């Protein structure tokens, strides 16, 4: 091989290596996307988390920022695609994996959350903007001829979780309390029973067609009823076992919940769901 050929080969290796590293970096970066749900309502994905936003002639209503990097990306995309200011930020609840990064939107947006969420955000120094407006039961936010109904469903997954109904788009945005054909997340941290079940029943009474969860694919209203069935079977099964002296280990073996064996994460998370409900019932008993 001549000297010139060796130099060319070395340069080619450098170029190919740089290209591979760039591609690898892109593949390892966060998965982000914006997709239309209905009308002017869009869904934002950041890896395994989702939020929604509504575009109006007078500005944009955004929901959970997820984290500061995700919020900055979304803010830039909304500017580029719609050239509208962000007027409202609505937080579904206080948990940091959904509420973080609110300060990114706070320069132009009024921040809204349940009153309990504001108390927790301040008390636990959550990394987000402190809400400007709060409410206790329901609130309607209107902008540019469009609206979203905010509904506190009660102590369920946290004591400040709200769902957001977009009536014109026939869509309900509900975070962490419901998924499509997937069991609940691990040990159900920061949860309340039977409040969780009552909250799902309250969601069933809302008039909507499209379910937009905070994790996983879009669903339909029937998916809420399916989750009510699962959580009821889970809670009632654990409660019955405790009343008859079952140990946690025996409940994990015997409470199979076979009706839901085809749901996502059934094998890994069903025992953890049982453990979470078991521990929460025990805590309630000790608190009496």
pLDDT at 265 over 70: yes
Q: What distance separates the 2 farthest-apart alpha carbons in the chain?
A: 87
Strand partners, 41: 38, 54
Dihedral in degrees, nearest 10, Cα atoms 273, 279, 280, 281: 110
Q: pTM to 2 decimals?
A: 0.89
pLDDT, tens digit, 9 for 90 and up, residues 97-156:
999 999 999 999 999 999 999 999 999 999 999 999 999 999 999 999 999 999 999 999
Q: Delineate the domains of the chain, giving CATH numbers in brackets.
A: 30-176 (3.60.15.10), 177-201+222-288 (no CATH)
Rounded distance, CA 106 to CA 88, Å?
9
Q: Where are the alpha helices (DSSP H) in 29-175?
A: 68-82, 96-99, 115-123
**For all residues of the chain together, what is the average pLDDT?**
92
The model's pLDDT over 38-47, given as tens digits with 9 standing for 90+, comes to 999 999 999 9
pLDDT of 165-184, one tens digit each?
A: 999 999 999 999 999 999 99
Q: Are 144 and 56 in contact (CB under 8 A)?
A: yes
Number of CB atoms found within 10 A of residue 20's CB: 10
Cβ proximity of 43 and 35 under 8 Å:
yes
Cβ count near 68 (within 10 Å): 15
CA proximity to 92, closest of 64, 120, 67: 64
Strand (E) positions, the chain?
Answer: 32-38, 41-46, 49-56, 59-62, 86-90, 110-114, 133-135, 138-143, 146-152, 162-166, 171-174, 210-213, 219-220
Burial (CB < 10 A; 0-12, 13-18, 19+), residue 233, is middle
Looking at residue 108, the DSSP 8-state letter turns out to be: T
Residues 6+ apart with CB under 8 A from 9: 1
> What sign does the CA torsion over 213, 216, 220, 224 have?
negative
Is 165 in contact with 151 (CB distance < 8 Å)?
yes
Q: pLDDT tens digit string along 64-76?
A: 999 999 999 999 9
């Amino acid at each position: 091989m001549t000297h010139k050929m060796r130099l060319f080969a070395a340069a080619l290796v450098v170029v190919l290596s740089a290209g591979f590293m760039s591609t690898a970096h892109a593949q390892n970066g966060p998965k982000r996307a914006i997709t239309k749900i209905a009308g002017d309502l869009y869904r934002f994905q950041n890896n395994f988390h989702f939020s929604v936003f509504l575009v109006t002639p007078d500005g944009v209503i955004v929901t959970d920022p997820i984290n500061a990097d995700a919020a900055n990306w979304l803010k830039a995309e909304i500017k580029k695609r719609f050239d509208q200011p962000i007027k409202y930020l609505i937080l579904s609840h206080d948990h940091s994996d959904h509420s973080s990064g609110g300060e990114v939107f706070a320069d132009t947006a009024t921040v809204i959350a349940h009153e309990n969420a504001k108390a927790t955000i301040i008390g636990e120094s959550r990394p987000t903007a402190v809400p400007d407006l709060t409410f206790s039961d329901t609130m309607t936010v209107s902008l540019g001829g469009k609206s979203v109904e905010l509904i506190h469903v009660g102590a369920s997954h946290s004591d400040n979780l709200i769902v957001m109904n977009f009536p014109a788009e026939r869509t309900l945005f509900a975070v962490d309390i419901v998924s499509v054909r997937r069991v609940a997340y691990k040990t159900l941290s920061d949860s309340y029973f039977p409040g969780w079940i009552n909250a799902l029943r309250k969601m069933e009474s809302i008039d909507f067609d499209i379910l937009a969860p905070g994790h996983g694919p879009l669903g339909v209203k029937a998916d809420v009823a399916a989750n009510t069935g699962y959580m009821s079977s889970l809670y009632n099964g654990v409660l019955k076992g405790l009343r008859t002296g079952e140990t946690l280990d025996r409940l994990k073996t015997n409470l199979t919940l076979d009706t839901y064996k085809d749901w996502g994460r059934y094998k890994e998370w069903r025992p953890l769901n049982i453990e979470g409900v078991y521990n929460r019932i025990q805590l309630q008993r000790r608190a009496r």
